[in-house]
Amino acid sequence: MKNRIKITRIMLNMNQKELAKQVGVTRQTIGLIEKGEYNPTLKLCMAIAKALDKTLDELFWEVDDE
């Protein structure tokens, strides 16, 4: 489950802790999702997208399985 969360977050000068707080999960969960080791729920994906001012497609589409 690769994605563009990390690069987007860094471009917004946001750290993992702040993103985690905004979307209501822990710092560790954000770290694992960014690393592609988690398969997050749709609800969480949407919360992350909104926190980063992106859409689902911009963060998650066509970045998967390689």
Partner DNA sequence: AACATATGTAACTTATAAATTACGTAAAGG
Partner DNA sequence: CCTTTACGTAATTTATAAGTTACATATGTT
Positions that interact with a copy of itself (CB under 8 A): 1, 39-43, 45-46, 55-57, 60-61, 64
Alpha-carbon span 33 to 3, nearest angstrom: 8
| Partner touching 7 among DNA, a copy of itself, none, CB below 5 to 8 Å by kind | none
The answer to whether 1 and 40 are in contact (CB under 8 A) is: yes
Alpha-carbon span 66 to 45, nearest angstrom: 20
Can residue 17 be called a binding residue for DNA (CB under 7 A)? yes
Can residue 22 be called a binding residue for DNA (CB under 7 A)? no
Q: Between 33 and 59, name the residue whose CB sits nearer to DNA.
A: 33
